[in-house]
C-alpha cells in the first residue's frame, strides 16, 4: 500500500511542501481543475502538474478525477464526442506515466430539477421537472449508460496500462430523488462484470460504502482484491439508518474496524495507492472542507 494525499493544486492551503513532511507519504492525488468537463486534457497541463509534484520529491500517483460529462451519464446522443475526448485524456495520462484514474458516475448532485434553464414559449427560462429526463437517471438506464462508456474506454485504458477506478456513489443511497448505481457489494460485482477486464476496477472507499451497515469493508477488500486500484480510508460514526458523521481514523472513534480493513488489504497483497479520505481540521486550520492536514 502506498500512502498518498489529495492536493487541490496551487490554491490549496495545504502545500506540496506540507505534504512532503508527513512521514511515509510518497504520492499525490490531484487533477487539473480549470478544464471544462468533457474536453480532452492538454498534454502540456498534464506534464506541468506532474513536474510540479515531482519537484517536491513526490509522485503523481492518481488523477482524481477525470470527470465524466453528464451527457455520457444520461446516454444523450451527443455522448460519443465526449467519450472520444475522455479516451484522449486517458492516452495522454498514460503517456505521461500516470497509471490510475479515479472517476464516478453520479448524476450531478443538485439536480433537484431535471432542467435548470428550460425555455418557455415566451422566451423566459424556468426550472422544470420532466420525469422522462429523470428516468434517464434510473439505476437500470444508468447502468446501461455506464456499460456503454466502459466498453468504449476500457480497451484504451488497457492499451495504455492505465487502471480505471470507479468511486462508489456517496452517500450510497438515493438523494433528492436521484438514483444511485454504485452503492453496495452486488452493484460492485455487476460493474466489474460489465467489462470483465482488470483495468475496469474500483476505488474502494470505506467512507462511502461504509456508512451503510450492510457493507463489510474488510470483506469487500478481500472479495475484490486485485480489482481494487485505489483505496480511500475514512472512518465514519453511524448515527442512524441514513445518518453518519465522518470521524477520526482510528477504529475507536467511529463505527468501522479500520485495523481489520487494513489487514484485509494486506492479505490480498494490495500495493496500490491509498489516501486518507475527508480529513478533519484541527487546531483552527482553515483548509478546503474535508481536506485539512
Ligand atoms: Mn471516497
CB 25 within 8 A of CB 4: yes
How many A from CA of 127 to the centre of ligand 1?
31
Give the span between the Cα atoms of 166 and 170, in whole angstroms: 12
Task: Return the bridge partners of 29, or none.
Answer: 6, 62
Residues with Cβ–ion distance below 5 A, ligand 1: 205, 232, 277
The predicted pLDDT at position 110 comes to 40
- What CATH number does domain 2-276 carry, 3.40.50.1370, 3.20.20.150, 3.40.47.10, 3.30.70.2610? 3.20.20.150
**Could you tell me the three cell numbers for 133?**
429526463
Q: How far is it, in rounded angstroms, from Cα 6 to Cα 292?
A: 10
CA of 292 to the centre of ligand 1 (A): 15
Count of other CB atoms within 10 angstroms of residue 146: 22
pTM of the model: 0.85
Ligand 1 center–CA 290 separation, angstroms:
11
Dig out the grid coordinates for 191 from the structure: 460493474
Domain boundaries, the chain: 2-276
- Asked if the model's pLDDT at residue 118 lies above 80, the reply is no
In the DSSP assignment, the letter for residue 118 is: E
Tens-place pLDDT, residues 197-254: 999 999 998 877 777 777 788 999 999 999 999 999 887 777 777 676 777 777 777 7
Expressed in angstroms and rounded, the spacing between residue 202 Cα and the centre of ligand 1 is 11
Cα angle for residues 61, 65, 66 (degrees, 5° grid): 110
Phi then psi dihedrals of residue 11, to 5 deg: -85, -5
Q: Which of 79-88, 174-183, 187-196, 244-253 has the highest mean pLDDT?
A: 79-88
Cβ 66 vs Cβ 101: under 8 Å = yes
Backbone angles phi, psi at 4, to 5 degrees: -130, 170
Q: Could you tell me which of 98, 99, 95, 116 has the C-alpha nearest to residue 107?
A: 116
Contact (CB, 8 A) for 187 and 194: no
Distance 183 CA to ligand 1 centre (A): 12
For strand 228-233 and strand 273-276, is the pairing parallel, antiparallel, or unpaired?
parallel
Q: How far is the CA of 232 from the centre of ligand 1 (A)?
A: 5
- Cβ atoms of 114 and 134 within 8 Å: the answer is yes
Cis geometry, peptide bond prior to residue 171 (ω within 30 degrees of 0): yes
Question: What gap in Å lies between CA 239 and CA 276, rounded to an integer?
Answer: 21
CB 224, CB 191: distance < 8 Å:
no
Q: What share of the chain in percent tops pLDDT 90?
A: 53
Amino acid at each position: 500500500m502506498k500512502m498518498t494525499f489529495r492536493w487541490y493544486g496551487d490554491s490549496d492551503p495545504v502545500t506540496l511542501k506540507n505534504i512532503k513532511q508527513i512521514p511515509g507519504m510518497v504520492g499525490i492525488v490531484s487533477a487539473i481543475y480549470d478544464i471544462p468537463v468533457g474536453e480532452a486534457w492538454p498534454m502540456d497541463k498534464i506534464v506541468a502538474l506532474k513536474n510540479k509534484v515531482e519537484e517536491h520529491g513526490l509522485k503523481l500517483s492518481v488523477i482524481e478525477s477525470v470527470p465524466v460529462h453528464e451527457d455520457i451519464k444520461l446516454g444523450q446522443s451527443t455522448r460519443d464526442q465526449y467519450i472520444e475526448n475522455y479516451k484522449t485524456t486517458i492516452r495522454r495520462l498514460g503517456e505521461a506515466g500516470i497509471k490510475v484514474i479515479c472517476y464516478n458516475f453520479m448524476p450531478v448532485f443538485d439536480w433537484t430539477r431535471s432542467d435548470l434553464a428550460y425555455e418557455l414559449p415566451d422566451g423566459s427560462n424556468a426550472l422544470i421537472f420532466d420525469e422522462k429526463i429523470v428516468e434517464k437517471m434510473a439505476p437500470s438506464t444508468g447502468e446501461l449508460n455506464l456499460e456503454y462508456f466502459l466498453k468504449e474506454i476500457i480497451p484504451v485504458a488497457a492499451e495504455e496500462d492505465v487502471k480505471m477506478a470507479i468511486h462508489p456513489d456517496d452517500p450510497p443511497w438515493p438523494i433528492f430523488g436521484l438514483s444511485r448505481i454504485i452503492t453496495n457489494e452486488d452493484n460492485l460485482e455487476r460493474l466489474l462484470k460489465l467489462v470483465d477486464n482488470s483495468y475496469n476496477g474500483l476505488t474502494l472507499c470505506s467512507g462511502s460504502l461504509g456508512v451503510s451497515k450492510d457493507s463489510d469493508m474488510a470483506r469487500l477488500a478481500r472479495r475484490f482484491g486485485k480489482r481494487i486500484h485505489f483505496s480511500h480510508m475514512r472512518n465514519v460514526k453511524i448515527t442512524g439508518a441514513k445518518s453518519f458523521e465522518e470521524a477520526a481514523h482510528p477504529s475507536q472513534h467511529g463505527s468501522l474496524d479500520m485495523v481489520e480493513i487494513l489487514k484485509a488489504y494486506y492479505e490480498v497483497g494490495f500495493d496500490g495507492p491509498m489516501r486518507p479520505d475527508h480529513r478533519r481540521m484541527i487546531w483552527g486550520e482553515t483548509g478546503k472542507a474535508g481536506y485539512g492536514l
